[in-house]
């Protein structure tokens, strides 16, 4: 198997952006309700929960889950 230079570049960027303290997808999902609640109440969730925000920035699956949940809750509120 031969990797393209684009794939190698993406892998290296992922490695460079890792931190000593990160959330798993499971931990991120566990925190989404609080993150969404803060967001909807006008609080700065990104600042209060930076590990969740960093995970959402890196993980497309969790980001999609967050966006769907946020949209669903907003629909219920309105």
Mean pLDDT value across residues 40-50:
96
| 67: its two tokens | 């966006």
| Residue 5: pLDDT band with limits 50, 70, 90 | confident
52 contacts 15 by C-beta, under 8 angstroms:
no
Q: What is the C-alpha separation between 31 and 62, in angstroms, rounded? A: 11
Q: What is the C-alpha separation between 56 and 5, in angstroms, rounded? A: 26
So where are the chain's domains?
A: 22-77
Distance linking the first and last C-alpha atoms of the chain: 51
Query: For position 44, what pLDDT does the model report?
Result: 97
Query: For position 61, what pLDDT does the model report?
Result: 96
**In this predicted model, which residue has the larger pLDDT, 36 or 16?**
36
């Amino acid at each position: 198997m031969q990797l393209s230079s684009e794939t190698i570049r993406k892998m290296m960027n992922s490695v460079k952006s890792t931190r000593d303290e990160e959330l798993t997808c499971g931990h991120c999902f566990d925190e989404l309700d609080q993150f969404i609640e803060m967001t909807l109440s006008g609080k700065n969730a990104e600042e209060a929960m930076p590990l969740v925000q960093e995970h959402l920035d890196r993980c497309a699956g969790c980001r999609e889950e967050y966006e769907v949940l946020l949209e669903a809750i907003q629909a219920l509120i309105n």
